[in-house]
Structures are given as C-alpha cells and as structure tokens.
Structure 1
Amino acid sequence: MKYKIKNLTFNQWVKQVSFIVLFLLLSFPQFLMAQSKEIIYVGTYSQNNSKGIYVLEFDRENLTSQIIQTIHDKESPTFLALHPNKKFLYAAYREGMSKQDEAGTVIAYSINQETGKLTKINAVSSVGASPCHISVDPTGNVVFLSHYKGGNLSTFKILDNGGISEAATFIQHTGKGVHPNQTTAHMHAMIPSADGQWVYASDLGIDQILKYKVNPANGTVAENPVIFQASPGAGPRHFVFHPNLSYAYSLEELSNTVSIYSVDQTNGDLSPIGRINMLNDKLHSDYNAGADIHFSTDAKWLYASNRGQDNLVVYKVDPTSGLLELQGHVPSEGQHPRNLKVDQKGDFVFVANMGTDNIAIFSMDKSTGMLKATGKHIGIPRPVFIDQLFIK
C-alpha cells in the first residue's frame, strides 16, 4: 500500500524534497560556509596603542576581518599557543605578576566555542625574564615557556579546567657564543615532538638545541638534556619538524640560515645533513635576522621570514633526502616580518610585519609553493604572533 501526500505517492514526495535540498546546497555554497566561523588570534607588543591580544573574525571570501575582542591583562602578550583540543589558549606576557616583578606572566584562557572570544581562567608567574615563546605538548598536558632575556625555560602542568599550575620545572642555561650578541644564554623556543616524548629547546645565545624528556603526567621535563651543537654564531631561533618525514629544520637568526637535521625515530636524536642560506643575494641590508619558519599544509614547501631584507624565502622540500631547494623570495609587504601563519586550508599565508603595524595576506600557488601579495592587509599595532581557529 502506498501513502499519498497531496496527490503524490510517498516515494515521489521524498524524491522531490531530496531534489530541492540538493539544489539549495549546490546553488548556495555560502550557506555551507556560514556554518563555520574563522577566528584569528594576534599577539602584540603593547606599543603604538596596541590593545594586547586581538581576536578577529576573518572573512575568507573577501579577505576582510573584524575585531570582535581585545584583551590587555598585562603588557605585551607577544606569543600565544592553542591547546590541541582548541578549547583553551595560553598567552606569554612580558609583564610580571606585579609591576616590580622582573619575570613574565602566563595566562590561560577558555575559548567560547560559538564566538571564539576568550575568558581568563588563571594567571601564574613565568618565573623567567622576558618570555618570548610558548607552546603546548600534543597530549595537551604541558605548557612550555622560553625566556630570551633570562636564558632559561619553564614548564607548567595543564589542569582539568584548562588552567595552569605554578611552574613545574625551571631550568637555567649558561654559556655564550661567538657572535657579539651571544654574551649569555638566550632561550628562544621549545618545540615538542609529534608523540610528545621530547621537547627541543633552541637557545640562540649558546648555539645549541637541547632535547629534553617530557613527563606529561606532572608537567615537567628531565634536567639532563641531550645537547646538539649548532654552527658557531648561528643563533638557532625557531624549529619545525616535517609532519611526514624524519627531518627537522632549525631557523638560525644570526647567520640567516636554515639547518636541516635527520631525526632518529628510536630516540629523537638529531644529525645535521645540510644547511641553506635564507637571504636574497641580489639585495643588500646592513641588518638581517631570520625570524619564523613553517611548512605548507601539504608539507611540500617551507617558508621562512627575513627581517632586514623584509621578505619571505620559499623552499621546495625533497621528499627523499629532506634537503631544501630555493624557489625564490617574496617581499613581506611591510617591515620586520616577525611571524607568519600558514592557513590551515592551504590557501593563504599571513605575515605579521611588526615594524609597519600590519598583517599582510598572501595567496599560495600550490603547484610551485610561491606566494603572491593579495594587496589585503589587517591593521594591528606591533603584531608579533598569529594563529587561526575554525569554529563549527
């Protein structure tokens, strides 16, 4: 027996409704796009009237953005880190818990899952002076903090509510390098391995990458690191692992080079296999300092930023050897490109030009890896860090 609905059989009615739904979905793709919201978080120096952390809603179609929140709990929230579950964000502030405190402050925020806005959970002392980089281990249990001025590192246990404990580990580095700027240790970044067993600490002042064993249960690292010596005067600053291959890449600020390492998958040890220049030989600048380094989403290309020449260098990654081949240089559309963010969808690269108070947006050619200026900029005072979050 067939049921009739307004002179249609039930089967006919289902077919017609299905056709209408399909037509709407195909005809109005913006309907689907509206179901996800794109948020950009920006950390800044508290200069040029900066309001601290900027929370932006980004319009991908028109390459425009709207500020939906600013937070200025302390001075200079220069570096931020998202929790792997995307429900929490951690900020490294240069200002201490009090104005007289020489150490910085770490503040944990919860993320509103509908708007992307931030709400403070708690704040603790960073213990060291001048925190410049913050990261979270992939298990979501530990926050790692690097201090440039103090030349030390600290770690924090992440609590059940997303907040953080007082410092669980504090380690002071000692020594100096051959460069005039290397009179003492200068920690610059802590990058965890994909499995969370190790964290790699790049110390610019002593030309070392130190591998620490991570204890996620109590938020600590062991105090007996394995030390990998960089080239004298190189100044290792930032560090990235290839997501699919057993290679790692160290951006060296003082020598404006990228060193390439093979990674032993049994113990995480690094072995140097190559080194490549970052600078454009056709340009001259009295001051040059490498800044940031990131892979494209497909990991075929590697991008790094140069301050001084104020450009981005594009490398092709050899999928067998891990070595890099220069593809070219692209002007950063501003001065002092301190940080860059590769769009999670692989369409754009965002570049924080700290010296000209702007974030430049570049489109990406996925066949060559090269970048092209879109002419679109986001005006933010003294931008230092950029991250991205999609909310469904």
Structure 2
Amino acid sequence: MNKLLTCLLLGISLTAQAQSGKEIMYVGTYSIRGSEGIYVFEFDRKTGTMQPIQSVSNAKSPSFLAIHPTGKYLYSVNEGADKLGGVSSYAIDKATGKLQFMNGQSSLGGGPCYISIDQTGKTAFVANYGGGSLAVLPINTDGSLSAPSDSVQDAGTGPNTQRQDKPHVHSATLAPDNRFVYVADLTTDKLNIFDVNAKTSTVKPASTPYIAVKPGSGPRHFTFHPNGKYAYLVEELTSTVAVLSRNAKTGALTMIEDNVKTLSDGFTGQNTSADIHIDPSGKFLYQSNRGANTLAIFAIGSDGKLTKVGDQPTEGKTPRNFLIDPKGDFIFVAHQDSDNITIFKRDQKTGKLTFTGQSVKVPAAVCVIMANR
C-alpha cells in the first residue's frame, strides 16, 4: 500500500470517527449491589444511546469523579476508604477512553465525597464529608497524585441535630478565574472562601472568608453562571437554592435570593436536594431532588434571579449527580437507589426535558461526567 493511499484511508477513518458523534463518559458508584467501581461508556449523540466499554475495579466506593484539564487523567474519591479517606488517579487512553490505575493517596479525612481540579492541572481539592475537612493535593507532571500539601479542618454544629451534628464538608468548587475555591459545609450553613496558591498547592482564607445561609439549610453543591457574575448554591436540607452575586476582585459573595423553593407545590413527602448545573447558554438552571425524584427547572433572568419553569420526573429513584452535555442537547441523571442512568433530550429554547426512553443499568450510580475530547 503506497503512502498516499495510506494517508487517504487514515483521513477517511478519522473523519468517520469525528462524524460518529461518539463520546466517552465515566460513572462513579458506591460499592454495593454488585458494583465493580468506575464504569466507562461510549455515548452516541446521533442515537442517544450509551454503550459500555469498560468497568474498572475499585471496591472503595469511587463515588465522585473529575477529569484533568488536559483530558489525559481521571480522579476519583474513594468514599468507602478508611478514616483517613482516599483518592485515586487514572490515566485515560485518548484513543479508547479506557482507564488505567496510576496511584492513590490519603485525603486526610473520612468519607471524601467531592473532587475538583484547578485549571492549571496542578492541584486537586477534596471535600471530606465524614471528616469535615478540605484536603489539597498536588498533581505530578505525569498526572499521578502527591500526598496532601494542605488541609483545612472545619468546626461547628447546626440546628438540624440529625444531619448537622459535626462538620460535613460537601464540595469544593473553583472560581472561573482559578483564584478562589468555594467550600460548602452542610453543617455550619456556610460557604467558605479560600485564596488559592496554584504554585504551592495551598489555600488561605479569603479577605471575605465565607457567606452564611439560613440556619438549617445545609449547603451542598455550588456552580457559577457562565458570565461569572452569578453563582448558585444547593441547600440540601431545605430543598432550596441560594442565588448569589460575586465580586471578581475579592471573591466575596452577596446574597440575591435565599431559600428559593425547588419542589412543586403539591409535593408533601420527604426530600433532600443534591446536585446543580446551568446549561451552556446560561439561560436555565437544573437542581436534582431526591425523594421527589425530579429535576427542578428554572429560567435565569438577566439579574441572575430564578423563575420556576417546571419539574421533570427523572425516571429513577434518588437522583444524585447529573450531567448536562457540553452542547446542551442532553441531560444524564445518575440514580443511587434504582441503579440506572436515564437520558433526556433538552429543548434549548424552553429548558424543558423529554425522556428518550433510554435507561442504562449501573449499580448505585452516583456521578456521571463526560470526557474532554
């Protein structure tokens, strides 16, 4: 075969791959009901279907996942690790999306439940729910994790004696400018703000070190509007959302609306809110509700305020993390207690969702993310 023909065939092959619409997805799970650990899928955008391509053994509940900015590495918290917690790193095969374990480190606290990677790709931030602390881990040039270089132990209690008996750090979210990390503590009803030193992988309290929400609300997950001016906080225990504005210079937050109701008027059962995301256009916000088993849908005004659009049943039990795909066409919902991921088509004009009928079996699904490709 001559070189010209080889190049033509290679070009045809690459074009076919680009047009196939297939993308790689990763699912984190709890190590129960037969879960093997982390599951790898190929998503075909044209057909709206997910096909399994790998399962990666991890018996310590690799529940929450994050991908390195280069797309070369994946990280999981190991929520079922011992009292010192655990974090794992994996190399991603760019051709297939498959994972290869690299190394693990302690997170210096029990029950790690959230991990994020800064934009330089040099630092990982881990929220320890059980330990009530934040851990900061340097990332080596080969993508593997170093031992923690910094940690912050929270303290306090809240009015909900069952859920707020001791600190429960639930998330660590990087600011769009990578200068600050926002750390939600479900117990203290505070969103703590830290300055990030990307060179040394350390943190210190920002000049305005936190913002408090209504006592008993239970801050959980946090997200920024694409314009960087506004941010939104899940209040787990009251099934509400807080709307905030952000000072880009100091990182300080100001409350615009607090305790915005996410449940429908007719719902009377028990519920806790979980995850929150904004579509790529910045027009709509979605928040998952466990108990009601719905996604609350809000339109976002030019002032950042929210207007309820509706509630979408998620076709499963206990929706945890969910994913809005980068193009804004689909939403994938991970269900902890019905062992499935459901796929919805999204109307980009109205924000409303339509169930595609696709339900993918994954034991104790907790987190679903899509690769940078």
TM score, norm. by length of structure 1: 0.88
CA contact 1:213–1:222 (8 Å) conserved in 2: yes
CA contact 2:274–2:321 (8 Å) conserved in 1: yes
Q: Which residue, out of 283, 288, 299, partners 2:267?
A: 283
1:96-245 correspondence to structure 2 within 5 Å: 96=81, 101-180=82-161, 181-222=163-204, 226-245=209-228
CA contact 2:295–2:313 (8 Å) conserved in 1: yes
Distance across 1 between alignment mates of 2:220 and 2:146: 27
Which ranges of structure 2 fall in alignment gaps of 5 or more residues? 1-7
Alignment partner of 1:79 is 2:59: no
Q: What SS is found at the alignment partner of 1:176?
A: coil
Distance across 2 between alignment mates of 1:141 and 1:31: 35
Alignment partner of 1:353 is 2:331: no
CA contact 2:132–2:153 (8 Å) conserved in 1: yes
Q: Which residue, out of 342, 353, 362, partners 1:380?
A: 362
The root-mean-square deviation of aligned C-alpha atoms, in Å, is 1.9
Distance across 2 between alignment mates of 1:103 and 1:301: 38
Equivalent residue, structure 1, for 2:276: 293
What amino acid is aligned across from residue 232 of structure 1 in structure 2? P
Task: Give the C-alpha shift of residue 31 in structure 1.
Answer: 3.3
Q: 1:198 to 1:334 in 2, by over 3 A?
A: same
Q: What SS is found at the alignment partner of 2:282?
A: coil
Equivalent residue, structure 2, for 1:265: 248
Alignment partner of 1:308 is 2:294: no
Task: Give the C-alpha shift of residue 344 in structure 1.
Answer: 1.1
Q: Deviations over 1:243-291 (max 9, x none)?
A: 1141111010001110011101221100001131011111221x11000
Distance across 2 between alignment mates of 1:73 and 1:52: 4
Distance across 1 between alignment mates of 2:168 and 2:51: 36
Task: Give the C-alpha shift of residue 32 in structure 1.
Answer: 6.1
Task: Give the C-alpha shift of residue 66 in structure 1.
Answer: 2.0
Task: Give the C-alpha shift of residue 229 in structure 1.
Answer: 1.0
Q: Which residue, out of 299, 313, 318, partners 2:301?
A: 318
Q: 1:223 to 1:300 in 2, by over 3 A?
A: closer
Task: Give the C-alpha shift of residue 299 in structure 1.
Answer: 1.2
Q: What SS is found at the alignment partner of 2:147?
A: strand
What amino acid is aligned across from residue 246 of structure 2 in structure 1? V
Task: Give the C-alpha shift of residue 341 in structure 1.
Answer: 0.2
Q: Which residue, out of 58, 65, 71, partners 2:50?
A: 65
Percentage of pairs with the same residue: 40
Distance across 1 between alignment mates of 2:85 and 2:344: 33
Alignment partner of 1:327 is 2:312: no
CA contact 1:88–1:108 (8 Å) conserved in 2: yes
Which ranges of structure 1 fall in alignment gaps of 5 or more residues? 1-20
Number of aligned residues? 360
TM score, norm. by length of structure 2: 0.93
Structure 1 segments of 4+ aligned residues over 6 angstroms from their partners? none
Structure with bigger gyration radius: 1
Distance across 2 between alignment mates of 1:47 and 1:385: 15
CA contact 1:245–1:322 (8 Å) conserved in 2: no
Q: Deviations over 1:195-225 (max 9, x none)?
A: 1110000000110000011111121112577
Distance across 1 between alignment mates of 2:271 and 2:50: 31
Alignment partner of 1:50 is 2:35: yes
CA contact 1:168–1:219 (8 Å) conserved in 2: yes
Distance across 1 between alignment mates of 2:279 and 2:40: 24
Task: Give the C-alpha shift of residue 103 in structure 1.
Answer: 2.0
Distance across 2 between alignment mates of 1:162 and 1:31: 30
CA contact 2:297–2:351 (8 Å) conserved in 1: yes
